[in-house]
Structures are given as structure tokens and as C-alpha cells.
A and B are shown apart, each in its own frame.
Chain A
Amino acid sequence: MAAGLVGLLVGPVAPLHGLGGAKDLPIPAALAITGGTAALIVSFCVLVLAWRRPRYADAAAGPHAGHPLPRHLADLLDSAGWAWGLRILGLLFAGWFTWALVAGPDRVTNPVFGVFYVLLWVGIVPASLLFGRIFRALSPLRTINLLFARATGGDPARGLAAYPEWLGLWPATIGLFAFVWQELVNPEQAYIGPMRIWLAGYAAVMLIGSAVFGDTWLSRADPFEAYSDLLAKLSPWARRADGALVWRSPLANLATTKPRPGLVAMVAVLFGSTAFDSYKDSVRWVRFVDDLGGNVELINTLALLGFCAVIGFSFTLATMTTGVDPARGPRRAALPNLLAHSVVPIIVGYMTAHYLSYFVEYGQTTLVQLSDPMVTGQNLLGTANWTVDYWLSYHPGFLADVKVIAVVVGHIVGVVAAHDRALELLPKRHQVVGQLGLLVIMVAYTASGLYLLFGA
């Protein structure tokens, strides 16, 4: 099954001059696939028997709305001073980064690469899971929009026009695809010129868009903000319907994800690109590209798009293979978006499995490099003499266990979220059978995901 699914996806990629040296060892066990899929099926059976009522149907206001934070803490976190502190922190860091980006040399030891590909792209996952919607709190572009609005006497939330709601998260999805393309396909990903151009384009689109549509644009179009907001739904932090800051079960929080247009495409890009990343370095893949000849960049782009499309279409199809009751529940076509939040824990599982050692080890390297943004041997932040701890790489067995557990737990949490939503949406007689399509696709994802982690 796994090999078959993967076989369909085979596309080609050339050896990249990737960042960060050695990659993790493949995981040496077919046991993981069997165990992982079995765990998924068993949890589904347990859920069907024991979880018969939707618990999180009204998570923003109902009994699972969460516990309010202590007064003083809530007041502090809601204060203007706190918000400005984070904004200034974001601006300072962005300034430091921009200095290295504009004036620093085109060397892989320039910290910009580690900041962009590791601290930002990978670090956004643990940061958002721990602290909630962290990127929007720090986002230098959100702050700049705010400052522009203040300077011109306007309201940062308002632009020339209202944001068209039918666009939903599509702009952010395109932005995320642009990022993963830059990271995984662009053969010059580790050169500073293409990165400058990518980031300048990003800044221009965000600033102009937020002047036109107000800062709603940033929520829907900034790939990092939209991604961080989505991940924050798995954090314990939330706002109750009445606006109070609360902490609540991450599962209840996840159920409050708004099913905007483009949500399925967004999770498909996040999930599909990670799968593509796992496969593109395999020997089989590299040889395939080499034998094929042709324009490597184009083939890679199509393959990346193909991975995302397969995830998006299979998920859409699987969630729609159920009976519905249009008189009381949602239309069939609305189902994929209403269930898309269940892919978020799966994305977190794969991000963990795929990037854990890279994040820990290259992340440390980046902190060291940040002291020397001009790569002249300076120690401006006092981190230049730190040494990188490669403990994880020297314990490949432990690393492999963590990876398998992350993927399996991600899938199980996803199944729980989907099951709870299915109970809420589907008519009684379709509640079990209606979920089978989704279960099949989840098992297929787990099996092929673990297969990819084996080093294919």
C-alpha cells in the first residue's frame, strides 16, 4: 500500500546543495509501519465505541471553553506595554537579520540561512505550540503596517477596501508554496541573492496588501502568520467567545479552527511538501532524475505540486465519501474544510519527525552564527564561542523512536479531532461508515509517511 502510493508520486530531483551536512539515518524497521497503522485502527475502534457524543462542538463558549487566566497575568498579557515589547523585539531581530541579509557576505556561515530555514520555518512550530499566535505578535511587517497607519492618520485594520472573504486563506497558501519551493526546489536556496529577492517580494506584497485591505491581509496572506495561527490552535492558549484569555485543552482549541476557503489547500501544501522533502534526497529519486534528464527545476516544481495535490485531492475525496443530511447538517462539499483541522496534528507530527535533529543542531549553529552577521569573526552577542551539541545525531536509535512516535501520535490526535467533528456533522446512521473513507486515507498517509522516513 505504502510503496504503491509512493510509487505513484515518484518524481525527480537532483542532489541539492542543501544546508547542514549529514542527514538522519533511515529508520530500520517495517515494524514501525505495521505498529503505526495498527495503532491508528485500534484508536479508531476505541473512539467509535467510547466517544459517542461530540465534545468540542461549541469549544469557544461551551463547557470546554477553558479556564480564564489569573487576573494579573491576563491583564499583563493584554496590556499595550506587553504588545509593544513583543513588537519591538520582533523589529530588533528583523533589523539584525536585515543587516546580515543586505550587508553580509554570500557564505553559508552567514546566519541568514539558518534564521530563515531553521529558526523561522521550523522554530515556528514549537514556538506556536507553546506560546500560541506568536508570529503575529512579533511580525515586523504587522508592526510596520501599524506604524505607517499611525503616521498617515489611519487605522491599521482598515485599508482602501474590505478583504474579500471568498479569498480565505488562498493567498497564504500561495505564500507557503512559494516558501517550500524556495526551500526544496530552488537550486540556489543556499545563496543569498535569491533569498534577498524572495524576502523583498514577501515584504512588498505584505505591506502593499495591508495598505489595500488592512491588516486582515496579514492574517490571510502572510504565510508565516497564517501557519503560526493554525498551529496555535493546538496550543493551550485561546480566547473565549467573550474575549477572555483562557487556557484550554488543545483538542478543544483545535476544534475552533475557522473553516475558511483555502484551508484544505493550505494543510495540503504543508503536509505534501514535508512528504516531498523526505523523498527528494533518496538515492532512488536522485537516480531517477538523473536518468530522466531534462529541466530539473521544472520536474521538481511539478513533483512538489504533485505531492501537495495528491494530499489535497485524496483528503477532499475521503471526507466527502459519506452520506449527509442536507436538511440538518452541512452540504457534502463543505465537509473537507470542516474536517481540515484534523490534518494540523499530522503536520506537527511530520514536522517533528522530519526536522527534529536539523532544528536542534542547525538551530544551535545558527545561534552561534548570529554573533557574527558579517562573517568576519566577531562575537557581538556573546554566542560565538558556544559549541554545538550533536547528542541527537550520536543517538540514532532514540532519534528514530521519537520520529515514529511523533508521526503515530500526530495521526491519532488527527483521528480524534476528525471523529469528534464527524459526530457533530454527520447524520446518526452515517457516523461510523461515513468516517471510513477518512480512516483509510489516514492509514495510507501513516504508512507512506513512515515508509518515507525509512529513507525510501
Chain B
Amino acid sequence: METRRLFVAALVGAVAIAVAGCGGSGGAAKAEAGDELTATPSATASPAADAKVIAVTITADSVAPSGAKVEVKRNQPIVLEINAVAAGEIHVHSTPEKHIEFPAGQSTVTLKIDQPGVVDVEDHLLDKLIVQLEVT
């Protein structure tokens, strides 16, 4: 009877793995819940006096700054001045997340973060850390 149990267990285990494998990592585009923002091509409008301005340069394979620490206050306007060789997306790992779509060339986006914490700002395509915001 122990052999029978082993047989049943092995069968169930094999089916589980087969189901997992087949249904497996289809790698469908994963939509994350979050705020969607769009960076607009730079106009002449100058940022607010209390804003934290961060110049971001994105090339085909690198970001600058690369993993800098930036301190900001809660609800302080954060202005990203983006200079990119191609259109792309920046992910701001706040709660909830913010996704910023930017065009090729110069563009600007302003965001605010209300909740204190450490927030990673990454280029989505390159999967590289641009800045880490310390929101206090």
C-alpha cells in the first residue's frame, strides 16, 4: 500500500509540474497598477521655486545619474528633466507606483510623493536604477 501511495503521489506531482510548465512563463506583458504620467517635450516654463530638479540622461545602454541618492520632502515637486535618445518609460517605485512615458529628445515631468520612504526611480527598458529618492 505504501507503493500505491508513492504511485499516486508521483502522479499528482508530475501533473502539477506539467501544468505549471505548460501554463508556464508565457511572459505576457505584465500590467502593474499605478499612476500613469507622460513627460512633455520641454517648454520654457520654469519649475516652481521649491522644486527638486533632477537632470536625467538616458542613452541606448546607460543612465545618468546612475544610482544617486536624492533627498526630497513629502509633496515637494520633483522635476525630471529627461534627455533620451529614444522614447521609453521610467518607473517610480513609490506606493502606488508611477509610470512615466517619455519621448525621444528633451522632455519634462513633475511628480510629487506623499508617503515617506525610499523610492527607486528606474529606467524600465534598461532595468537600471537612476536615482533613489529619500522622501522624508
CB-CB under 8 A from B21, the residues of chain A are: 197, 200
Report if B48 contacts A (CB, 8 A). no
Chain A stretch 183-224: residues in CB contact (< 8 A) with chain B: 188, 190-191, 193-194, 196-197, 199-201, 203-205, 207-208, 210-212
Whether the Cβ atoms of A102 and B23 lie closer than 8 Å is yes
**Which residue of A is nearest B3, CB measured?**
A160
Q: Is the C-beta of B111 less than 8 angstroms from some C-beta in chain A?
A: no
Q: A151-B8, A200-B19 are in contact. Are A396 and B116 (CB under 8 A)?
A: yes
Q: Tell me the residues in window 385-426 of chain A with beta carbons closer than 8 Å to chain B beta carbons.
A: 390, 393-394, 396
CA distance A105 to B131 in the complex (A): 31
What are the interface flags for B82-112 relative to A under an 8 Å C-beta threshold, 1 for contact and 0 otherwise? 0000000001011111000000000000000
Residues from chain B with Cβ under 8 Å of A376 in the complex: none
Task: Verify A396–B132 contact, CB threshold 8 A.
Answer: no
Q: Return the CB mask of B104-128 against A: 1 if under 8 Å, else 0.
A: 0000000001011111101000011
Which B-chain residue is minimally distant from A156 (CB atoms)? B5
Cα distance A160–B21 in the bound complex, in angstroms:
29
Beta-carbon contact of B13 and A208 below 8 Å: yes
Q: How far is the CA of A102 from the CA of B19 in the complex (A)?
A: 8
The reply to whether A211 and B2 contact each other, CB–CB distance below 8 Å, is yes
**Known A22-B119, A160-B3, A211-B6; contact A286-B129, beta-carbon cutoff 8 A:** yes
CA gap between A337 and B136 in the complex, in Å: 44
For chain B, give the interface size range: 35 or more
Give Cα distance in the complex from A162 to B4, angstroms.
17
- The answer to the question of B66 belonging to the interface, with a C-beta cut-off of 8 Å to chain A, is yes
> Is A23 within 8 A of B117, CB to CB?
yes
B97 touches which one: A21, A23, A281 (CB < 8 A)?
A21
Tell whether A394 pairs with B30 under 8 Å between CB atoms, given A158-B2, A204-B13: no
Expressed in whole angstroms, the Cα–Cα distance for A394 and B16 within the complex equals: 43
Does A25 belong to the interface (CB within 8 Å)? yes
Per a CB cutoff under 8 Å, which of A23, A194, A208, A287 touches B66? A287
Q: Does A178 contact B (CB under 8 A)?
A: no
The interface stretch among A30-38, A50-58, A106-114 is: A106-114
Asked if A204 contacts B16 (CB within 8 A), the reply is: yes
B1-57 residues with Cβ-Cβ distance < 8 A to A are 1-6, 8-10, 12-14, 16-17, 19-21, 23-28, 30-33
Q: Which residues of B contact A152 (CB under 8 A)?
A: 1-2, 4-5, 8
- Given A21-B119, A207-B12, 17 more pairs with CB closer than 8 A: A22-B115, A23-B117, A107-B32, A108-B30, A151-B8, A152-B5, A154-B5, A193-B25, A200-B13, A200-B19, A200-B21, A201-B20, A204-B13, A207-B13, A287-B67, A390-B115, A455-B118
The 7 A-B pairs of least Cβ separation, nearest first, read: A193-B25, A204-B13, A22-B117, A21-B95, A200-B20, A196-B20, A211-B6
Chain A residues within 8 Å of B, Cβ to Cβ: 14-15, 17-18, 20-26, 102, 105-109, 144-145, 148-149, 151-154, 158-160, 188, 190-191, 193-194, 196-197, 199-201, 203-205, 207-208, 210-212, 281, 283, 286-287, 290, 361, 390, 393-394, 396, 455
